[in-house]
Structure 1
Amino acid sequence: MTDIYVKGGPIPPRRRRAQLNWLLTVLPAFPLVLLVLRLWYLSRQDLPTMLLLVQYISPLGMISALFITLIWTVPAAILVLRALGGILLVSEPDNAGRSLLAVTALRMPDWVVMLATMMAAFTWQLRLLPTLGMLIVSILGVTASLRFRTERWVMLWITVGVPVLTGALVLIFVWPGIVTALRAGETTTALMLGVPPLLGPLLTGPVPRWSARLVTHWPAVAAALVAPLAIGVIFLRAPVLPNSAIEVGPADGASHVVRGQLISVDDTSTTMLQGDGAVLFIPNDQVRSKTLCPEPVRPPDSVVAVRGWRVEESALSWIAPTHRDNAVDPRCLGRPLNPS
């Protein structure tokens, strides 16, 4: 009674258990590998420095940085698996039981898809929201084809009417951004805004049987191979220590500013990690002042905005309060607070 019965026969239980065992082994280990690589990268491949960072850096802080940096990847993986697996299920039902992708989509609860959709709506950039709409209508269409085989006009409305209406509404909303992107020469941004609403109606039902695995299984395999590499590159550049500037000098003499990342402060000294990987232990009696320095503001990747919403901003970053300092602390620029 442990088999999964679909057309084409079940996946052999032993093979399925072996695949799941490997998956459950790799998934918990992947975040740990990312955290270790982040410390190795931060220490500039110096083992004593890495051991010092391990001693003082809070695991909760690193996990928080990992979560904030990569939160958008979780709904992306869930929705893409559900959409591709659903298309494979309706396109090649005779052999779907032999595909882990199709079985994963078949077993995925609806509430998981709903939570992933809400998370994506808040964390994805505006230029990715048309892709989100395409994935949603695709999942709705293939789910209706699998579960609700009712009157023809109802199925036609779910698989054609809803995707066309949704695509039209999305195009109306992003049309000013498409025009701006084309005028600014940002062809990629224009394609990301305009193409997914057109593809939505094509992904709500079966594809030709001969191409089912080609357009579902192999893109999923390619994404699974590329995703860990891309996630690692993104997280290796995420900050895990606060940028600080410390004014150092005797009480009756000239002072200078040390900039870097603050590791720890104890009873005797303040430990700083500089940009070149050098570790400084500054006696506390020489510390005259210190401040936190904000992260450098990156110039925008795109000049395109849709109805006042920049395409590189997520809904969460757009509506959430942000802290912006109008004046730059001179210590963050390497100058003493009160030069003599």
Structure 2
Amino acid sequence: MSDVFAKGGSVIPRRRRAQLNWLLTVLPAFPLVLLVLRLWYLSRQDLPTMLLLVQYISPLGMISALFITLIWTVPAVILVLRLLGGILLVSTPDDAGRSLLAVTALRMPDWVVLLAAMLAGFTWQLRLLPTLAMLVVAILGLTAAQRFRGERWLMRWITLGVPILVGAIVLIFVWPGLTEALRGGETSTALLLGVPPLLGPLLTGPVPPWSARLVTHWPAVGAALVAPLVIGVVFLRAPVLPDSAVEFGPEEGPLDVVRGQLISVDDTSTTVLRSGGQVTFLPNDQVRSKTLCPEPVRPPESAVEVRGWPLSDSALSWIAPTRRVTEVDPRCLGRPLKPR
């Protein structure tokens, strides 16, 4: 009992270990909850339909859809945690051991931050790359403030020179897109392009000790509360079944087309989940043809380009090969391929 009430005793490490144990318990369960909610949403809240989907949908396919849809969130979490924890470490170094945020940032290896920055550079949209540059230079400056306190000129160069130089280079690169966004009325795009390069030098140094926890813990808590909701909404819209069109009918009679998501094909029937949540079983002896239907092309989130690079695209979308659809299959429009 003396350890619990003694000032500076072991209560802080025990509390931190307890929080970490709870965090490690909840994190593996979160993807499972997302997968279950995705099936519940796909079945239109119908339990028999959800149980049918559980029986036939591959867990690997759902995990792949989860990974592809939410891959951009991994570097965002790592970089923001390192930034906020670094600000707390340089602002209140004597009290930083009491904060789980500061301890996480202190124990985070440099190679993890490097890999997160590289992954973000490939998966984030171009309009978010100025924010990435701001995060990287801020983390670099905070790391220098922790490790090279005695090197005055090196500190000034890393905490002021590098952020200003990188910010100027980024502004020069995105300036055509910034002006185009302002002319087109895309205020949010203009802010994403122009504001982060200016904030880099302001995030590399300490803040007043009395406000350190306010400017680090509350943003982290707010992000932790909002992130699961955003991730859930994004993943609930991600496809986990192939969108298909099945042409069926008697050999000499009229043909019909069923549009929906293909669940399974067994020895007797083809199972299709329609857009309204109805499950249709089509006898295989009446199925004449099947085809995969491409996803509808969504309009770009921004019409602005920077030196020929659309702001709504990422580097990965440019590098990875894509399948271009030039003609729409009539079956995907609900019409037979060869009407009788």
Please, what TM-score do these two structures have when normalized by structure 1? 0.96
Deviation at 1:153, TM superposition (A): 1.3
Q: Which residue of 2 aligns with 1:185?
A: 185
SS at match of 1:228: helix
Q: Aligned AA for 1:228?
A: P
1:55-77 CA distance string (max 9 Å, x none): 00000000000000000000000
Q: Aligned AA for 2:278?
A: A
Q: Aligned AA for 1:92?
A: T
Q: Aligned AA for 1:46?
A: D
Q: Which residue of 2 aligns with 1:274?
A: 274
1:25-77 CA distance string (max 9 Å, x none): 10000000000000000000000000000000000000000000000000000
Deviation at 1:299, TM superposition (A): 1.0
Q: Which residue of 2 aligns with 1:5?
A: none
Structure 1 stretch 300-309 or stretch 59-68: which is displaced more? 300-309
Deviation at 1:119, TM superposition (A): 0.5
Are residue 135 (structure 1) and residue 135 (structure 2) matched? yes
Aligned Cα root-mean-square deviation (Å): 1.2
SS at match of 1:12: helix
Q: Which residue of 2 aligns with 1:111?
A: 111
Please show how residues 217-236 of structure 1 align to structure 2 within 5 Å: 217-236=217-236
Q: Aligned AA for 1:222?
A: G
Are residue 207 (structure 1) and residue 207 (structure 2) matched? yes
Deviation at 1:300, TM superposition (A): 1.3
Tell me if the contact between 1:159 and 1:201 (Cα under 8 Å) persists in the aligned partners: yes
Structure 1 portions without partners, runs of 5+ = 1-7
Structure 2 portions without partners, runs of 5+ = 1-7
Q: Which residue of 2 aligns with 1:253?
A: 253
Distance in 2 between residues matched to 1:110 and 1:154, nearest whole Å? 19
Structure 1 stretch 304-313 or stretch 269-278: which is displaced more? 304-313
SS at match of 1:275: coil
Deviation at 1:97, TM superposition (A): 1.1
Counting aligned pairs with the same residue, the percent is 81
Deviation at 1:293, TM superposition (A): 0.1
Distance in 2 between residues matched to 1:32 and 1:284, nearest whole Å? 34
Deviation at 1:95, TM superposition (A): 1.5
Deviation at 1:11, TM superposition (A): 7.0
Are residue 54 (structure 1) and residue 54 (structure 2) matched? yes
Distance in 1 between residues matched to 2:312 and 2:262, nearest whole Å? 30
Deviation at 1:319, TM superposition (A): 2.1
Please, what TM-score do these two structures have when normalized by structure 2? 0.96
Tell me if the contact between 1:127 and 1:311 (Cα under 8 Å) persists in the aligned partners: yes
**Given the superposition, is the C-alpha separation of residues 203 and 220 from structure 1 closer, same or farther in structure 2, using an over 3 Å criterion?**
same
Are residue 70 (structure 1) and residue 79 (structure 2) matched? no
